[in-house]
Amino acid sequence: MSERPTVSGIFKRAQELRQASPEGLLMDLKKQLVSEYSGNEFPSPEFLTIPELDNVTPEEDWTAGLPIVLRGIQNEDWNDVAQGIIISLEQVENYPKESGREDDPAKEWRNREKRISEVTEKSVGKWLPEDLMDVAKRSAKQ
């Protein structure tokens, strides 16, 4: 690997390895990540995120291992980096199994968009004149 890896890239690689061997042990996956990335430059702590998972799993799940990843980056320890990635991977894998997908209608309380739109509507209604509100509602429906 010639370019500096990112936390997101390492996570994607862990997902690829997991898909290739779904019954494999997470400890073996960790060892493989350490083997593949050892000798490479450590990811930048400025990009300590896996943003593509934000709409798939709650933030507290996909970020579960990031403090350990950060510790690994700071201590230049690929074992900690891989361990943090494995923790996040395990949380992301377990979330749909244990609670259903976030966009599942039965899990409407988890729908962030619904909460945001309710608050936005209340706020906009306070300062937007009624005639402009009607125009905004009509254009939103289109």
Angle of CA points 86, 112, 55, to nearest 5°:
35
Q: What is the pLDDT of residue 2?
A: 58
Q: What is the pLDDT of residue 14?
A: 95
Rounded to whole angstroms, how far apart are CA atoms 49 and 11? 10
Domain ranges in the chain?
Answer: 7-100, 111-142
- pLDDT less than 70: residues of the chain: 1-2, 99-115, 124-128
Q: What is the pLDDT of residue 1?
A: 47
pLDDT over 90 percentage in the chain: 42
Q: What is the pLDDT of residue 11?
A: 94
Catalogue the E-assigned strands of 47-112. Answer: none
Contacts of 82 (CB under 8 A, 6+ apart): 10, 30, 31, 33, 34, 37, 72
Report DSSP letters for 4-35, one per residue: PP-HHHHHHHHHHHHHHSTTS-HHHHHHHHHH
